[in-house]
């Protein structure tokens, strides 16, 4: 349910825009509101499960996710939809860390490995189905159906969990939860994202600059608080004494920023500029997911066989080539010569870095710290995507404005004024043609398409640069650093 929602919603956003008359900033908040609370609270969700019972917290999170999905589907306005997505993110923060924790607590030995493999397989399959299912539901029924699909899934999940899954908890878990740390992370990330998204529309706005600066300062204080003040911190400082763990998380921030940020904008280009249907837009991403699914089982053993450096370096480099290929797509052309090569390269890169990165994170800490380390790495990937969408949106807006200024030469003053009134909407490549003077419509439509492609190209070039930075880090980092303390050994090269 969580993976379907994560990939299906993006494909439906262009239809949400037209139905609810949303601007580009509103559309980003539909994704960012969900990502904000998931990123900030996912470590708290894991701690709550350890403290109060993993099955109970998992079922509660799933129930909240389903109720919020219903609210999303029934939203009469974009503001209500954003609020419901924020609640959905809270539910996801409770259920996502609980899923693997329940498997770890219920199975042992070889059975645990098979169970985790099954979980990973279904995650890949549902991720692959998400864009196609989302596109089909949005095109055949409505974008609202994309959220309603969570209802039967959620009911089944809660029923199975209560009937068949034994309760488990950690009796040695801390009695207190890091509420202050969670609040600082939420406020810091929220203010920073608010400022970055606002600056896309306003371009120069003191309140948005102040919000971004305040958000950055809050995140710096969050780091200080977690290291020096919190009694039971969300981020265990001792984990970062492992050099491979630090490298893996910096690599995660760079590469998942490129991945999460860039793939947000692809459906807008496909639907609003290239003229794809929602179903075709969803299906266009299948090579990326299918290649990762088929190759992940093979690539998961690469770290034990040849170490982390080569697969992480090659994977990031191939991903960079995929983003560069996205940047080369213009307007029109066959899918097989434009978006197919880009998604294929991205899939090959993902196949090389996704599973080896997870293995590297787990091998960089002691067995007793594996759960916390996984949670931190998961949070890093979520935060990377959250911030990247806002930053890439700012880059796209700057390139879009420059392109539009050149492309609208000769448009009447009335046409220019109509464009200015729709600025937030046209940043996603969509324009309300009825509001444009008839004599200007053809020129304006072409100008917006050309300008969006210019912005899309700038965003993809930034994604390629981030992926190249990840490849350089992987090539130069010391992945074989010994343990920090003899009594608490890290797993090195896949051997405990």
Q: Are 191 and 211 in contact (CB under 8 A)?
A: yes
Calculated CA dihedral for residues 102, 376, 319, 393, nearest 10 degrees: 110
pLDDT digit string (tens) for 9-57?
A: 989 999 999 899 888 889 999 999 999 999 889 888 888 888 888 899 9
pLDDT the model gives residue 124 = 66
Strand partners of residue 141: none
Residue 172 pLDDT greater than 60, yes or no: yes
CA pair distance 185, 487, nearest whole angstrom: 32
pLDDT the model gives residue 489 = 40
pTM to 2 decimal places: 0.88
Helix, strand, coil % in the chain, rounded to nearest 5: 80, 0, 20
pLDDT digit string (tens) for 128-159?
A: 678 888 889 999 999 999 999 999 999 999 99
- Reduced to 3 states (helix: H, G, I; strand: E, B; else coil), residue 495 is strand
Among 51-55, 105-109, 184-188, the least confident range = 105-109
pLDDT the model gives residue 120 = 67
Q: Measuring CA to CA, which residue among 141, 145, 139, 226 is closest to residue 182?
A: 226
Q: Highest-confidence range of 111-125, 332-346, 403-417, by mean pLDDT?
A: 332-346
Q: Measuring CA to CA, which residue among 350, 265, 243, 281 is closest to residue 28?
A: 265
Q: Are 354 and 381 in contact (CB under 8 A)?
A: no
Q: Are 58 and 135 in contact (CB under 8 A)?
A: no
pLDDT the model gives residue 483 = 46
| Segments making up each domain of the chain, as ranges | 1-174, 179-231, 242-496
pLDDT the model gives residue 45 = 87
Strand partners of residue 492: 495
pLDDT the model gives residue 121 = 64
pLDDT digit string (tens) for 366-375?
A: 766 666 777 7
What is the DSSP secondary structure assignment for residue 485, as one 8-state letter? Answer: -
Residue 6 pLDDT greater than 90, yes or no: no
Q: Domain 1-174 adopts which CATH fold?
A: Growth Hormone; Chain: A; (1.20.1250)
488 — pLDDT class (breaks 50, 70, 90): very low
Q: Are 30 and 143 in contact (CB under 8 A)?
A: no
- Identify each DSSP E strand in 97-226 by its residue range: none
pLDDT the model gives residue 48 = 87
Strand partners of residue 430: none
Strand partners of residue 495: 492
CA pair distance 54, 7, nearest whole angstrom: 26
Mean pLDDT of all residues in 295-317: 82
CA pair distance 76, 450, nearest whole angstrom: 32
String of b and e for 377-409 (b: at least 16 CB within 10 Å)? Answer: bbbbbbbbbbbbbbbbbbbbbbbbbebbeebbe
Residues 6+ apart with CB under 8 A from 110: none
102 — pLDDT class (breaks 50, 70, 90): confident
pLDDT digit string (tens) for 431-449?
A: 888 788 888 888 888 888 9
pLDDT the model gives residue 8 = 85
Q: Measuring CA to CA, which residue among 475, 463, 394, 460 is closest to residue 254?
A: 463
Residue 496 pLDDT greater than 70, yes or no: no
The CATH classification number of 242-496 equals: 1.20.1250.20
Residue 126 pLDDT greater than 80, yes or no: no
pLDDT digit string (tens) for 204-261?
A: 678 899 999 999 999 999 989 988 888 888 877 778 888 999 999 999 999 999 998 9
Q: Are 12 and 138 in contact (CB under 8 A)?
A: yes
Determine what percent of the chain is predicted with pLDDT higher than 90: 46
pLDDT the model gives residue 51 = 82
pLDDT the model gives residue 317 = 97
pLDDT digit string (tens) for 451-482?
A: 999 999 999 999 999 999 999 999 999 887 54
pLDDT digit string (tens) for 337-356?
A: 999 999 999 999 988 888 78
Tokens of 333: 């052309």
Phi, psi of 397 (to 5 degrees): -65, -40
CA pair distance 327, 129, nearest whole angstrom: 25
The residue among 324 and 332 whose pLDDT is bigger is 324
The residue among 416 and 209 whose pLDDT is bigger is 209
Q: Do domains 1-174 and 242-496 have the same CATH topology?
A: yes
Among 61-70, 121-130, 330-339, 390-399, the least confident range = 121-130
pLDDT the model gives residue 253 = 95
CA pair distance 255, 385, nearest whole angstrom: 9
């Amino acid at each position: 349910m969580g993976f379907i929602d994560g990939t299906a919603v993006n494909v439906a956003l262009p239809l949400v825009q037209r139905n609810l008359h949303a601007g580009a900033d509103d559309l980003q908040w539909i994704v960012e509101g969900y990502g904000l609370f998931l990123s900030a609270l996912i470590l708290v969700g894991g701690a709550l499960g350890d403290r109060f019972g993993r099955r109970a917290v998992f079922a509660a999170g799933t129930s909240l996710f389903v109720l919020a999905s219903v609210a999303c589907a029934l939203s009469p306005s974009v503001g209500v939809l954003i609020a419901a997505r924020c609640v959905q993110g809270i539910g996801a923060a409770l259920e996502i860390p609980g899923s693997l924790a329940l498997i770890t607590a219920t199975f042992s030995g070889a059975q645990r490995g098979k169970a985790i493999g099954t979980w990973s397989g279904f995650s890949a399959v549902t991720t692959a189905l998400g864009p196609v299912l989302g596109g089909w539901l949005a095109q055949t029924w409505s974008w609202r159906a994309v959220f309603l699909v969570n209802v039967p899934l959620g009911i089944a999940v809660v029923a199975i969990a209560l009937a068949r899954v034994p309760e488990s908890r950690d009796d040695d878990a801390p009695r207190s939860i890091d509420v202050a740390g969670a609040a600082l992370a939420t406020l810091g990330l929220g203010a920073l994202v608010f400022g970055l998204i606002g600056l896309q529309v306003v371009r120069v706005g003191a309140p948005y600059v102040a919000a971004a600066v305040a958000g950055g300062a809050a995140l710096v204080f969050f780091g200080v608080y977690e290291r020096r003040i919190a009694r039971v911190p969300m981020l265990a400082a001792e984990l970062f004494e492992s050099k491979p763990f630090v490298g893996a998380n910096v690599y995660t921030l760079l590469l998942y920023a490129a991945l999460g940020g860039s793939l947000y904008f692809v459906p807008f280009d496909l639907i609003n500029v290239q003229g794809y249907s929602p179903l075709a837009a969803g299906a266009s991403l299948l090579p990326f997911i299918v290649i990762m699914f088929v190759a992940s089982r093979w690539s998961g053993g690469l770290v034990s066989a040849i170490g982390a450096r080569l697969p992480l370096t090659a994977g990031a480099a191939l991903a960079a080539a995929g983003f560069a290929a996205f940047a080369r797509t213009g307007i029109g052309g066959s899918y097989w010569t434009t978006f197919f090569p880009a998604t294929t390269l991205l899939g090959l890169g993902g196949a090389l870095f996704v599973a080896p990165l997870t293995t590297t994170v787990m091998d960089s800490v002691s067995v007793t710290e594996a759960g916390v380390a996984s949670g931190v790495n998961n949070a890093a990937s979520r935060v990377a995507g959250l911030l990247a969408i806002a930053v890439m949106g700012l880059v796209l807006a700057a390139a879009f404005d420059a392109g539009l200024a050149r492309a609208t030469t000769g448009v009447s003053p009335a046409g220019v004024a109509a464009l200015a009134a729709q600025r937030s909407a046209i940043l996603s490549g969509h324009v309300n043609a009825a509001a444009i003077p008839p004599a200007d419509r053809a020129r304006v439509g072409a100008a917006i398409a050309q300008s969006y492609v210019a912005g899309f190209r700038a965003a993809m070039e930034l994604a390629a640069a981030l992926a190249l930075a990840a490849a350089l880090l992987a090539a130069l980092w010391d992945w074989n650093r010994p343990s920090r303390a003899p009594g608490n050994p890290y797993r090195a090269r896949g051997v405990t």
